[in-house]
Amino acid sequence: LEQRGKASLEKRLLQRESEVEELHRKLNVCEAKLANAEKSQEHVAAAKMKEVNDLTDRIAELEAAVRKRGDIIDEVSASLRQWEEEAVRYKNDCLQLEQREKEMESTHSSLLEKLEARRMDLQDRDKEVAGISQRLSSVEQQKRTLEQELVSLTESVERYSEELEAEKSVSGELR
């Protein structure tokens, strides 16, 4: 785009320069004719002088237009350089973002691996807890059984104590 714009402006500039050269040539021709005409005719000299002034004005206008076109080309070139710099900055930003994305993907993968390891660890612990719960349930069952046996033994001891007391009292009476 920059090259096409420059090429177009340079083409116009060359056209303007060629017009200026043509006008200079015409001016030279007119000035020569004017010099010859002044010798022969006063009224022709005034007309040629007007034409020379018009051509001089036109040349000045064209030269101003050429300078203006040059200024425009300079401005466009500066803008294009600025856009190129911005494009480089944008590309660098994109590269940095891609690098960050890769780092984040790596971190994500690492976290997924850690999460999977943690999940497996928790499953192992859940199995351990289930085993402990079963053992605890078994121990509680044994505790209840032992408590029942203790109650039964306590009742037996109380009966035995009562029987022993009764026997002692019968034996004390018998003596």
In this prediction, residue 173 has a pLDDT band, given cuts at 50, 70 and 90, of: confident
Task: Give the pLDDT score at 44.
Answer: 62
**Token representation of residue 149:** 């046996």
51 contacts 33 by C-beta, under 8 angstroms: no
101 exposure class (CB count in 10 Å sphere: 0-12, 13-18, 19+): exposed
pLDDT band at 85 (very low <50, low <70, confident <90, very high): very high
- The CA-CA-CA angle for residues 7, 9, 10, to 5°, reads 60
Residue 74 has pLDDT above 80, yes or no: yes
The per-residue pLDDT of the chain, averaged, comes to 88
The residue that leads in pLDDT, 162 or 175, is 162
pTM of the model: 0.37
Which ranges of the chain would DSSP assign to H, the alpha helix? Answer: 2-40, 42-174
pLDDT in tens, 93-110: 999 999 999 999 999 999
Convert the pLDDT of each residue in 138-168 to its tens digit.
999 999 999 999 999 999 999 999 988 888 8
pLDDT value, residue 38: 64
**pLDDT of 133 over the 90 cut:** yes
pLDDT of residue 45: 61
Residue 171: other Cβ atoms inside 10 A: 9
Q: Whole-angstrom Cα distance, residue 11 to residue 170?
A: 146
Condensed to tens digits (0 to 9), the pLDDT of residues 7-47 reads 888 888 888 888 888 888 988 888 888 777 667 766 666 77
User: What's the CA gap between 1 and 80, in Å, rounded?
Assistant: 9
Asked whether the predicted pLDDT for residue 48 surpasses 80, the reply is: no
Amino acid in position 50: K
